[in-house]
A and B are shown apart, each in its own frame.
Chain A
């Protein structure tokens, strides 16, 4: 027994790290919803939540408690095992992607050499949950919504992956920590300038992957009454909601790591290395919220045309130019 004390301690430490990470991320998710409501409110000449707690700060906790206590409605004709499994698949896939994100030098849960590929795999798994939800609810609206959403997510995964190929070529690795360290050799230690086209494609693909405005047709209220999540209520709805926001944060983190230099900053902050990383992720999230308050949404065929006819050729062009750059400038 004494032989395995070290292994047991290691496992306990990892479990503790997972718990801390989950706690921090879920708290962030809750408060991103609060800040979204506040920021959109102020942009729309109104206040947002004000009543629960000082200026509404306890609102997300109230929402969480509410969804916990709501009645769990399963439609009679729904396919019960799939209906119950769909939100779980979405949430677990998105949470698993958090394991490889580097918040600072050495602050990563699983420093694997195929970090970027792992994240793509996990976000593809999440789209599996979406189509299951649409199908299992056994209603026409959700079915249409699920189909649309899945087609959108799959179409935009391609330009997203292609836009990151440029980053992979410049840094020479799929390991997220190494991508960040490789960026120190570029202008201002970020890949934004050499990979400007790639960033543009990635940003738009990011909006479409997370079903945010202007690509939120599958869950637009005025079109199909919430699309594939129409039939969900209570905790399961909260799970889908959380999966969407965690997806937003994961995508923002990828953008930060690959294009904005991860945890690099103009000056080091003592005692808190992830400071710049967190600031950049917050910047991305603010951009998401700002775009939601301002822009109308695309029609479905225009959305698909944008992904296939504009973004993929741009991403391929980016790869070509990056390759050229790498050959000509050793």
Chain B
């Protein structure tokens, strides 16, 4: 029998107190397929090395062989928890590249689904973060609200998870009166639900002990690590793309950006709870201010259904070309590059396109917040205990689909 089999990875002489442990990729707390190689001394982590790439599907390579409209489907699978937000981000980027103007109603609809997906993203974050720290009941309460939102998504576009709702030039389908009524009820009831979650954990001594002072980073350190989203705002840095570079109808919405002070897990938690309340308020404004009108612009690239009668469409069916003759007389596919960022629940999602004048992008790069946040884990995880590492992974709010693309 092998006595040394338990601690069988050799460590250097004099370091017999350290040993190596691998957390994941199959692990209930790592939010996807993430593997973290740890070097431990007792309970304290001396070295933390996250390994990603288990979910790498090669979106950037795929995008070079598909048209802009076909690439839209890939974006659902990025942050699959809040799929609508990714769709909106992609469409904003491509529309800026191709200089397509979106009608007003479509802008408001995009803001509406973006905020709904922000709520689903944050509710899932709260559920898993609380579950990791041990409060099981918050998990189920959050999913109860999330269920309502997912049912609305299903009514709106047919899918709960991979929605592909927006299109280049507008959105896929208009909202019906029933959907607005249900959303109205939800928006009325939601603040009471947030209060319910808070009574369970906000002033609980154990929760405070587990989150205050854990994973603390200052504002400069957070910017140095290139964090974005609530992870950055928890440290007091005022950076929200909806205010800095407004897109869709955000410049017509009235909302605040909550900022934290201490930069620890508790500050980020409070930031996200306040963001949920602000999202609710934005949804209320969307319902009230929704303008009538078309949902797709007249000269949108193809895949608008149903095709307007009387509009001539000549489709070049040879698979290689990818150009739709309808818009060949428009000088949209100019050469050039563009970088457009939007605020998804996880942070700043950016799309960098290089266009070569063809119907397919020459290069598409996705700037994913989760990738950078897991990179920051390598720095934030040093010197903490294993239980705190789980809390830090939860507070950075990572989704591996977005990280690996």
Chain A interface residues toward B at CB < 8 A: 40, 43-46, 77, 79, 138-141, 143-144, 213-214, 216-217, 220-223, 225, 292-302
Are B136 and A293 touching (Cβ within 8 A)?
yes
Identify B28's interface contact among A144, A225, A294, CB under 8 A: A225
Chain B interface residues toward A at CB < 8 A: 1-2, 5-7, 19, 21, 27-29, 43, 130-137, 139-141, 144, 200-201, 204, 206-207, 209-210, 385-388, 390
Identify B137's interface contact among A44, A223, A297, CB under 8 A: A44
A138 to B207, CA, bound (A): 33
Are B134 and A297 touching (Cβ within 8 A)?
yes
Are A293 and B28 touching (Cβ within 8 A)?
no
A220 to B200, CA, bound (A): 20
* Residues of chain A lying within 8 A (CB to CB) of residue B390: 222-223
CB distance from A300 to the nearest CB of B (A): 6
* Residues of chain B lying within 8 A (CB to CB) of residue A139: 6
Query: What residue in chain B is nearest A44 (Cβ atoms)?
Result: B140
Contact of A301 with B134 at beta-carbon distance under 8 Å, contacts A45-B141, A294-B200, A296-B210 already known = no
CB distance from B387 to the nearest CB of A (A): 4
Are B201 and A296 touching (Cβ within 8 A)?
yes
Query: What residue in chain A is nearest B5 (Cβ atoms)?
Result: A77
Contact of A221 with B206 at beta-carbon distance under 8 Å, contacts A45-B140, A45-B141 already known = no
Contact of A46 with B140 at beta-carbon distance under 8 Å, contacts A140-B7, A296-B135 already known = yes
Interface hub of B28, B141, B388 (most chain A Cβ within 10 A): B28
* Residues of chain A lying within 8 A (CB to CB) of residue B6: 138-140, 143
Task: Tell me the dominant secondary structure on chain B's binding face.
Answer: helix
Are B385 and A301 touching (Cβ within 8 A)?
yes
Q: Sample 8 A-B pairs with CB under 8 A, ordered by A number.
A: A138-B5, A222-B29, A222-B134, A223-B386, A225-B27, A225-B28, A300-B43, A301-B43
Identify B385's interface contact among A46, A216, A225, A299, CB under 8 A: A299
* Residues of chain A lying within 8 A (CB to CB) of residue B136: 40, 44, 292-293
A111 to B135, CA, bound (A): 42
A217 to B134, CA, bound (A): 9
A140 to B385, CA, bound (A): 16
Are A300 and B385 touching (Cβ within 8 A)?
yes
Query: What residue in chain B is nearest A214 (Cβ atoms)?
Result: B206
Query: What residue in chain B is nearest A75 (Cβ atoms)?
Result: B5
* Residues of chain A lying within 8 A (CB to CB) of residue B29: 222-223
Are A140 and B19 touching (Cβ within 8 A)?
yes
Instruction: Add 13 more A-B contacts to A138-B6, A141-B21 (CB < 8 A).
Output: A40-B136, A43-B137, A143-B6, A213-B134, A214-B206, A222-B27, A222-B134, A223-B390, A294-B137, A296-B135, A297-B133, A299-B210, A301-B385
Are B43 and A297 touching (Cβ within 8 A)?
no
CB distance from A200 to the nearest CB of B (A): 15
A296 to B200, CA, bound (A): 10
